[in-house]
Amino acid sequence: MKKIAFIILLVGFCTSCDLFNADEVEEDVSPTTSNYDYVDIAPAWSPDGNWIAYTRTKGPQEQRGIYLIRPDGTDNRFLHQGWAYDVTWSPDNNWIAFIQYGQVYKKHIHSDTLQQLTFPPGRSYYPSWSPDGERIAYGKSNNDSTRSGLRYVTPSGNKDWFITEYGLFPKWLNENEVLFRLDLHDKNGNFTSTSVKRVNIHHRNVLEVLNVKPHKLLHLISYNDLRKEILFTGYSKNAPSIFSQSLKGGKRTLLMEYSDEAAWSPDGLSIVYTNINTGNGYLWIKQDVEEPYQITN
């Protein structure tokens, strides 16, 4: 189960934040230690907007795993058992890929068809399905026989290609380019900043998109092509919080405090996230100017 530790200075979350008229934030702040609740994590919206996949981390062991739920909180379905997470959808809405046992698997949402796509040595992380359906980008850990860094595998599992060294949280910009996060350090190994970069998978040329201070960007979680914005977790004055930022740079925008694990809806009008307030830990949706509402419990 996933936990983040900080000190809570205020209780509650930003229910009054308008998705399109939210607070701009520049101060460099990092709350200190306390615990937050994570029950349902890593939501991923299907491309047609009809389903949200997520991972349940608490409860009886046989009830932990990947679920599907409608955005209005109805039709909650248990899809796959076990510690499986980081779901990404195929463009046709019929398959999901995810991480389990340190490798990438894919599963059909209407059957029990399951296929392992990556294999040891090394562990795999952060799968992301390309918009044309032809590739699944992922991160590979260090090992002796396979080049680590960002890679992609075909959905059939027949081909596995290296993209670039290092990098976390790959997200497809288009069928040829991948966004990723890279943490930068000085010569003494101290964390100095986080860089968001883009790489062409064919030419492997890497370009910087934006650079932010330490702790400003914890996860490159979600990219919405209509808005041309990334959605990520950073620190507000009070707690881990959801921010958005244009790929053109500029100020980041605070969308929701006491929140983590956010994802855009396909139309860019809503976000789904984990409300990490103590005693909660479930999925909520913030839709335009409406009040957030809870969809899992």
Q: What is the pLDDT of residue 286?
A: 96
User: Is 27 part of a structural domain of the chain?
Assistant: yes
- Could you tell me the CATH number of the domain that includes residue 96? 2.120.10.30
Q: What is the pLDDT of residue 249?
A: 79
Whole-structure pTM value: 0.87
User: Is 16 part of a structural domain of the chain?
Assistant: no
User: Is 14 part of a structural domain of the chain?
Assistant: no
Q: Could you list the residue range(s) of the whole structural domain that residue 163 is in?
A: 23-294
Q: What is the pLDDT of residue 84?
A: 96
User: Is 75 part of a structural domain of the chain?
Assistant: yes
Per-residue pLDDT of the chain (297 residues; tens, 9 = 90+): 444 333 333 233 333 334 544 545 444 444 554 689 999 999 999 999 999 999 999 999 999 999 999 999 999 999 999 999 999 999 999 999 999 999 999 999 999 999 999 998 899 999 999 999 999 999 998 765 567 799 999 999 999 999 998 888 999 999 999 999 988 888 888 888 888 999 999 999 999 988 877 667 777 779 999 999 999 998 888 899 999 999 887 888 999 999 999 999 999 999 999 999 999 999 999 998 889 999 999
User: Is 10 part of a structural domain of the chain?
Assistant: no
Q: What is the pLDDT of residue 143?
A: 63
Counting the structural domains of the chain, the total is 1
User: Is 4 part of a structural domain of the chain?
Assistant: no
> Which one, of 271, 281, 249, 258, lies nearest residue 7 by Cα?
258
DSSP-assigned states of every residue in the chain = ----B---SS-S--TT--TTS-EEE---------B---SEEEEEE-TTSS-EEEEE-SSSGGG-EEEEE-TTS---EEEEESSEEEEEE-TTSSEEEEEETTEEEEEETTS--EEE---SSS-EEEEEE-TTSS-EEEEE---SSS--EEEEE-TTSS-EEEEESS-EEEEESSSSEEEEEEEEE-TT--EEEEEEEEEETTT--EEEEEEE-TTT-SEEEEEETTTTEEEEEEE-SSSEEEEEEETT-S-EEEEEESEEEEEE-TTSSEEEEEE-STT---EEEEETTSPPEE---
User: Is 12 part of a structural domain of the chain?
Assistant: no
Q: What is the pLDDT of residue 18?
A: 44
User: Is 18 part of a structural domain of the chain?
Assistant: no
